[in-house]
Amino acid sequence: MRIVLHTISAVLLMGSWSAHAVLYKWLDEEGRVHFGDRIPVKYQLKEHDEVNHQGMVVKHNAAAKTKKEKAEAKRLAKEQKKLELVAKKARQRDRVLLDTYTTERDLIVARDSRLDAVGSQIQLAETIISDSNTTLEALEKQVVQIKASNRQVPAGIYQRIESEKQQVAVQTKVKQGHMKRRDEIATQFGGYVERFNTLKALQKERKELLAKERDELY
């Protein structure tokens, strides 16, 4: 500090530097400390400080970022924004969860209602598949009988067979989609129940803490 003060004193003696003017402090390539009321151009973008007449740093100026550093800072800022958005959406989901359901039982009822609806769609697809398979079996027997009697099988029968096969393929995909949705609902509401109970426990802890603080005041 003595060296710094002596250097500053020297700067003050060399010119009429007022107590309200700005004095800069910077390092050269060899790490030597310099003071002055102006920074040489080649050091202006490097790290430097602004000091008062007592030698105390009043402002620190970081070195200008390189292109690579700017790109990294931009990437980090973008990632931070994503994290903040995720956190915001999580808070919104928590608020909706608590506003929509009062007890865990409400969640179970809602889950079962949705599972029943999906289950009905699965049963409908299974019924259509079963009916189409029954029709296919009958049509294929008919083809065998016609061929056995040395008659030509009408093109319409083959068209119906292809139509029923297509129906089975379509409804099989529909059924699989509903089954996937059923599993998603079960998993989703499992998470809802767990989160709901956690939030309710936190609410209870906060209420107990507030009650304790209120009792201590009185």
Residues 171 and 158 in one domain: yes
* pLDDT one-digit tens code per residue, 167-180: 999 999 999 999 99
* pLDDT one-digit tens code per residue, 76-118: 999 999 999 999 999 999 999 999 999 999 999 999 999 999 9
Residues 88 and 129 in one domain: no
The larger pLDDT score, comparing residue 3 to residue 136, is at 136
Report the predicted TM-score, pTM, of the whole model to 2 decimal places.
0.62
Take residue 84 and report the two structure tokens written for it.
């903040």
Residues 95 and 170 in one domain: no
Strand order of the β-sheet with 57-61 is: 33-36, 23-27, 48-51, 57-61
Q: How many domains are contained in the chain? A: 3
Distances (CA, A) of 82 to 36, 96, 100, 143, 216: 44, 21, 27, 63, 42
SS3 content of the chain, % helix, strand, coil (to 5): 70, 10, 20
Residues 96 and 155 in one domain: no
Domain encompassing residue 31: 2-61
